Amino acid sequence: MRWVDIKESFRDFLEEFKREKTGILGVILLIILVLIALTAPYTTIPNLPEKWRSSRYWEDNPKNVPPTWYNMLTSQKLVPQQVYYVNDLKITHISDTKTIIEANYIFPEGYILGPKGIMVRGFNVTTNAPFQVPVMNIYLLRPDGKRIPLLNNKQLNTGTVISIGRDSATLANVYIWLVNVTEGRELTMFEVPLDIILIKDIFATMFAKVEPGMNVDQIIESPEPLHGQYKLVMEINNPAPDQNQVVYDDLKVTFLGRSYGTMGTDYLGRDLWAGIIWGSRISLTIGILVSIISTLIGLVYGVTSAYLGGNVDELMMRINEIFASIPSLPILILIGATLGHVTLWVIVLLLVIFGWMGIARIARSMSLQIKEQTYIEAAKALGAGNSRIIFKHVLPQLLPYAFAVMALSVPGAVIAEASLSFLGIGDPTAVTWGQILNAAQEQAATTKGYWWWVLPPGLAIAIVGLTFVLIGTALDKILNPRLRRL
């Protein structure tokens, strides 16, 4: 077969492929997927795999909340995340020693609960006089004019993080305020029932109707939302402004949403959308690499076996059969578990070892037919060597089939990788769809109804699989005309 022939037959093939609508759809999907995978650092968070496992990085995100667009489908709307940087805050320096920072938060009509918490971080404090550390008071002003004191005389240092809603001290203050408003009693810190603080969502009452005479337990159990404008006020007192300085440039105030981003968050507050986008890289790389390598190996193996024939053929087919009848998944699990740390390359290698047998068989039976053709005989008569005949005359004939097999073996490789990750065997430095689902399984996401955590990764796996199935079946249809629709 000459190069010109290959080019010509390829052109014919392309013409025919263009007529297969499903194949074209597959190619379009593939291009989109590759683009998504390549642009992941720019469209989402750069260097996500390094951040994925550090729970500190995700501290400012709410945990286990659905995506924001879900609000369009339900009547019980959930507030989205709202972040304030230094430019969004109102900072007034009243005197040298006193600064007031205000964050305006609007709790719009139609939402059922207020934010899930408030995080304040990013103070930069230079302390030269350690006995006169700056202190801060925080309170929340509500639309009904009530004022909730949250923290008093909190010492400020560089790296101070204030998490209202997670920190029990602030929640206790909220409870004291609740009792004070409804019953008029003044509780001390020690009278606050700790179990209620820790289990119930006290934070939600800050954004709920609270009037004298109402029952505290009832408010906690079913808070009635109070919509309108809220103001979080931080009063910072710096008794020694000459020695100690507070810089607010990095200040970040977050009102944690009850919904988040495009795909919600998981149990650590991780942005699932970023995880899904980054996961496409691993999935595509592994799927494509495994299918290409195993197809090539299988092709060469099958052709060699058929060409050499006789006892060598018999032996090679026995080896093939033995590999084919090893149950791959349990062995993979076992190898993965005993190796400890499994890198992506090891997974590729393992999947290739258990993935080349099918194509080897097909290649062998096809080249047995080709072997009988007269032009092979002619080549032999001309004195062509074994490798020349195999690579020059037999393999090119099989290439189109090889592409079909390649495409059709991608879904299997993708699912196998995801299955291993799902069982907890995988590269711990990568973000993969299987690992996201593994975390979902460990945290019993299905029994808690966290659909945004379970649905997208599997759907992504299915889309990658479908892409290659579409391409593969289109190729198959062209190459096996008998299967075409009649």
Partner 1 sequence: MGYLKYLAFRIVNAIIVLLIVTFIISALFVKVAEKNNMARMHDEMTQWERTTGQNILKTRGQEAYEKAKAAHEEFLKRKYELNLPYWHKVYNKAIRTLKLDFGSTITPLFGTNNISKIITVALPRSILLFTTATIIVIIIGIFLGVRAARHAGSLFDRSLSVFALLTYSLPMWWTGMMFLLIFAYKFDLFPLSSMFDPQLTGWAHVKDVIWKLTLPVFTYVFVVFGGWAWTTRNIMISTLQEDFIMAARAKGLPERKIIYGHALRAAAPPIVTMVIFALLGSLGGAIISELVFNYPGMGRLYWVALQQNETNLLIGLTYFFTVLYLASVVLADMIYGFLDPRVKVGASTKM
Is position 334 an interface residue for partner 1 (rule: CB under 8 A)? yes
- If one asks whether residue 107 binds partner 1 (CB under 8 A), the answer comes out as no
Cβ atoms within 10 Å, residue 243: 13
| Window contacting partner 1 (CB under 8 A); options: 80-88, 129-137, 181-189, 420-428 | 420-428
Tell whether residue 309 is a contact of partner 1 (CB under 8 A): no
**First CA to last CA distance, the chain:** 32
By CB under 8 A, residue 182 contacts partner 1: no
Among 81, 156, 422, 427, binds partner 1 (CB under 8 A): 422
* 208 CB-near residues (< 8 Å, 6+ apart): 114, 219, 223, 224, 225, 226
Residue 30 beta carbon to partner 1: minimum distance, rounded to whole angstroms: 13
Residue 138 host element (H or E): strand 135-141
- Does position 482 bind partner 1 by CB under 8 A? yes
CA pair distance 37, 214, nearest whole angstrom: 54
436 touches partner 1 (CB under 8 A): no
Site for partner 1 in 379-408 (CB under 8 A): none
Q: Is 67 in the site for partner 1 (CB under 8 A)?
A: no
315 is a contact residue toward partner 1 (CB under 8 A): no
Q: Rounded CA gap, 274 and 52, in Å?
A: 10
Tell the smallest beta-carbon distance from residue 405 to partner 1 (Å). Answer: 14
**Candidate list 43, 54, 158, 365; residue touching partner 1; CB under 8 A:** 365
Strand ordering across the sheet containing 135-141: 90-93, 98-107, 228-237, 135-141, 147-155
CB 63 within 8 A of CB 269: yes
For residue 136, what are the β-bridge partners? 154, 236
User: Comparing C-alpha atoms, which of 79, 75, 105 is closest to residue 90?
Assistant: 105
Per CB under 8 A, 335 contacts partner 1: yes
Helix ranges (DSSP H) in 256-373:
272-308, 310-324, 328-339, 344-353, 357-371
DSSP 345-377: HHHHHHHHHTTSHHHHHHHHHHHHHHHTSHHHH
Residue 268 binding partner 1, by CB under 8 A: no
Q: Interacting stretch for partner 1, rule CB under 8 A, among 9-17, 37-45, 93-101, 416-424?
A: 416-424
327 binds partner 1 (CB under 8 A): yes
Q: Judged by CB under 8 A, which stretch of 77-85, 113-121, 220-228, 462-470 contacts partner 1?
A: 462-470
360 belongs to the binding site for partner 1 (CB under 8 A):
no
Q: Is residue 349 within the footprint of partner 1 (CB under 8 A)?
A: no
Asked whether 67 and 261 are in contact (CB, 8 A), the reply is yes
Q: Beta-carbon neighbour count of residue 288 at 10 Å?
A: 19
Q: Name which position in 132, 423, 443, 479 contacts partner 1 (CB under 8 A).
A: 423
* Footprint on this chain of partner 1 (rule: CB under 8 A): 314, 317-318, 321-322, 325-331, 333-335, 337-338, 365, 368, 411-412, 414-416, 418-419, 422-425, 437, 440-441, 446-449, 451, 454-455, 457-458, 461-466, 468-470, 473, 482-483, 485-486
